[in-house]
Structure 1
Amino acid sequence: MAGRKKHIVILATGGTIAGAGEPGKNTGYVSGQISAEDLVASVPELSEYAEITTEQICNVNSDDMTDKLWIALSNRIADLQTDETVDGIVVTHGTDTMDETAYFVSLTVKCEKAVIFTGSMKPATAKDPDGPANLFGAVRAAAGFAVDDDPPANLVWVYFAGELFDARSVQKCSASAINAMGVSAPGEGSNWNALKEQNFFDVSKLESLPRVNVVYFTVDANPKILEYAACVSDGLVIAGAGAGEFSLAWAKVLESIDIPVVIASRTHHGLVTINESLAPGRICAGRLPPQKAAVLLKLVLTQTSRTDDIKRVFAL
């Protein structure tokens, strides 16, 4: 290929893409066993498109991701954004919480260079692993190939099974399909303006984030769950039924909870509207699914605990 190859840095965090188990099997593996260096070595075609540097941020199952690891990853990406020798960044990550981490990075790093998350549904030791193809596609995207239009500034992407998704709308939509990643508002497209206008949060001097827990409503769910969750949280997200609904018993307990509470929907798709008879004065998650509402609430709480201020951020 003519001209200078793009320099892409791969930041590895573990996940199924780095998983290992019985050769040829898709199940029974352990995530986060293979190094970033070995992942790249398994895809020799990468050298045709980019000069690759690897860094191991961590090597964990994405269900074991923590606020501290988020902050470390975000700060490293921010450093690489200012490195003139770097053209793009790829993050390998487990699929279970990839949408949360990608969203966190999109809110904490102003990206002029592409940041592409990717992972896999099969371990590296599977008979036909999907990780190599996803890593190949993510590097190509980070290097400027296979993207029709220039991505908007301040946007983080997820590349998976041949598709690019923006960090605000992406989520894992299947527990088992190879094309497991999708969008939380299918058919509506991406709201690029909202993405670019979204508040950004400086986490460079933080060691941890406020504690936010998600409480899931079901038929006849014990309202004491809310009481307990409030005792161990700085803020709560309620994953309500439908457009964020829950029982009158929950509404009664909610009256006595004095920390910020965001109302989201367990359906994941569609718009939440606050039912003022159930949750007067509480915060509406809009189109954010519960897990992403929790990410945003954590970050807002680093700046303010005033409900009116939090409402303005969630309204963007």
Structure 2
Amino acid sequence: MLINQKNSELKNIVILATGGTIAGTGEEGKTTNYQAGNLDIQTLISSVSNLDKIANIYGEQIANVDSNDITVNHWLTLANKINELSKQEDIDGFVITHGTDTLEETAYFLDLTVKTSKPVVLTGAMRPSTATSADGPLNLYQSVALAASDLSIEQGCMVVFSDGIYSGRNVQKVNTFKTNAFSSIEFGCLGYMRDNIPYFFNKSIKPHTIDSQFDISKLNQLPKVSIAYFNIDADPSILKYFSQSSEGIVIAGAGSGTFSTKWLQAIESLELKGIPVVRSSRIGSGIILEDDAMDKYNNCIPSYTLSPPKARILLSLALTKTKDYGEIKNIFAEY
């Protein structure tokens, strides 16, 4: 694929569309009861004023779904597509349009699996395209501008939303309906977008993209990892149930990744089955460190600052490399 260079002075950016609210339509002016993934990529591109003045654009439709319907197959397709296209000298960066509900998961997966130093930026919208003051056009405009900026090279996979720039590792959706729905909580954003100009102030120091050890080029699926949510009087039999079909389990624990004595006892049997258990937290911020009481079994692994969904992604990728508990612990400490 060669970009049609309408302006040789501009960067060439590929937009890969997956659907979501940014491509959604509904009753004119309303922000609810809309259908996600209704607009195709060309309609989406043409709806953004002056997009052609900041980059030469090529659009490709990867999917057109609600982000709750994104699958591992979509992830593998996206990562392999980016890895393939990034080898072309005439392509300078990538933008992925995505629904917001699972955007942070896709961002982290790509952060760990794309093999390019070229900018990769995800964005979406909290309001459908037919809503009054739809936020999608500005988010897409700023994402293309960021992907076209030399400042974005080697920054890993990023997310642009409501004027903020976030790392794929640390970004989280923190609001169910406001347009400033994303944050990096205690880590802060990488920087800000003002119109088409990025201002960087922070940088993610965790391994990503070309420095990541994970290679998905020959995979057509990923090891299954399930997430169990702990609450008062939660039945530990859910762990046994998950162990029948999963190669690993993440527990969204209370506080600093803790759970009851009954749950801890259930984990002992999982150690014998060769199933790693990652302790994360339902809290949403803070750090989970090794704990002698909670990590009394070799298969217990702290998630550090990863949320349960992101811990699931890292564990799944780690299992493509090793099943050794000690090596998986090292991976979580590194990433």
Same fold judged by TM-score > 0.5? Answer: yes
Shift of the alpha carbon at 1:249? 1.2
Indicate the residue corresponding to 1:227 in structure 2.
240
Shift of the alpha carbon at 1:193? 2.7
For residues 61-86 of structure 1, give each alpha carbon's deviation from its aligned partner in whole angstroms, at most 9, with x where no partner exists. Answer: 11111111100000001112111111
Alignment of 1:27-46 (within 5 A): 27-46=32-51
Alignment of 1:120-269 (within 5 A): 120-144=125-149, 150-151=151-152, 153=154, 155-186=156-187, 192-196=204-208, 199-257=212-270, 258=273, 259-269=275-285
Partners in 2 of 1:188 and 1:23 — Cα distance? 33
For residues 88-139 of structure 1, give each alpha carbon's deviation from its aligned partner in whole angstroms, at most 9, with x where no partner exists. Answer: 1100001111111011111111222111100000011112210001000101
Indicate the residue corresponding to 1:304 in structure 2.
322
Partners in 1 of 2:154 and 2:45 — Cα distance? 27
Shift of the alpha carbon at 1:273? 1.9
SS of match in other structure, 1:8: strand
Shift of the alpha carbon at 1:184? 4.2
Shift of the alpha carbon at 1:199? 3.2
* Counterpart residue type for residue 178 of structure 2: A
Segments of 5+ residues of structure 1 without an aligned counterpart are none
1:273 aligns with 2:286: no
Shift of the alpha carbon at 1:2? 8.7
1:16 aligns with 2:26: no
User: Percent identity between the aligned chains?
Assistant: 44
Partners in 1 of 2:122 and 2:179 — Cα distance? 16
Superposed structure 1 runs of 4+ greater than 4 Å apart: 187-191
Indicate the residue corresponding to 1:119 in structure 2.
124
Shift of the alpha carbon at 1:191? 5.9
Alignment of 1:86-101 (within 5 A): 86-101=91-106
SS of match in other structure, 2:290: coil
Partners in 2 of 1:309 and 1:35 — Cα distance? 43
Segments of 5+ residues of structure 2 without an aligned counterpart are 1-5, 191-201
Indicate the residue corresponding to 1:82 in structure 2.
87
For residues 273-310 of structure 1, give each alpha carbon's deviation from its aligned partner in whole angstroms, at most 9, with x where no partner exists. Answer: 23332332211101111110000111111111111110
Shift of the alpha carbon at 1:188? 9.4
* Counterpart residue type for residue 289 of structure 1: S
Asked if the contact 2:164–2:189 (Cα under 8 Å) also holds between the matched residues in 1, the reply is no
Asked if the contact 1:19–1:31 (Cα under 8 Å) also holds between the matched residues in 2, the reply is yes
| TM-score, normalised with respect to structure 2 | 0.89
Asked if the contact 1:111–1:154 (Cα under 8 Å) also holds between the matched residues in 2, the reply is no
For residues 47-71 of structure 1, give each alpha carbon's deviation from its aligned partner in whole angstroms, at most 9, with x where no partner exists. Answer: 1111111000111111111111100
For residues 164-188 of structure 1, give each alpha carbon's deviation from its aligned partner in whole angstroms, at most 9, with x where no partner exists. Answer: 0011111111111110010143459
Q: CA RMSD in A?
A: 1.9
* Counterpart residue type for residue 9 of structure 1: V
Which of 285, 292, 299 is the matching residue for 2:303? 285
Asked if the contact 2:279–2:301 (Cα under 8 Å) also holds between the matched residues in 1, the reply is yes
Aligned residues: 312
| TM-score, normalised with respect to structure 1 | 0.94
Asked if the contact 1:109–1:154 (Cα under 8 Å) also holds between the matched residues in 2, the reply is no
Judge which range, 150-159 or 283-292, deviates more.
150-159
Partners in 1 of 2:140 and 2:157 — Cα distance? 16
Partners in 1 of 2:284 and 2:29 — Cα distance? 34
Asked if the contact 1:119–1:135 (Cα under 8 Å) also holds between the matched residues in 2, the reply is yes
1:69 aligns with 2:69: no
Shift of the alpha carbon at 1:198? 5.9
Q: CA 1:43/1:188 → structure 2, altered by over 3 Å: closer, same or farther?
A: closer
Partners in 2 of 1:131 and 1:143 — Cα distance? 18
Shift of the alpha carbon at 1:254? 1.2
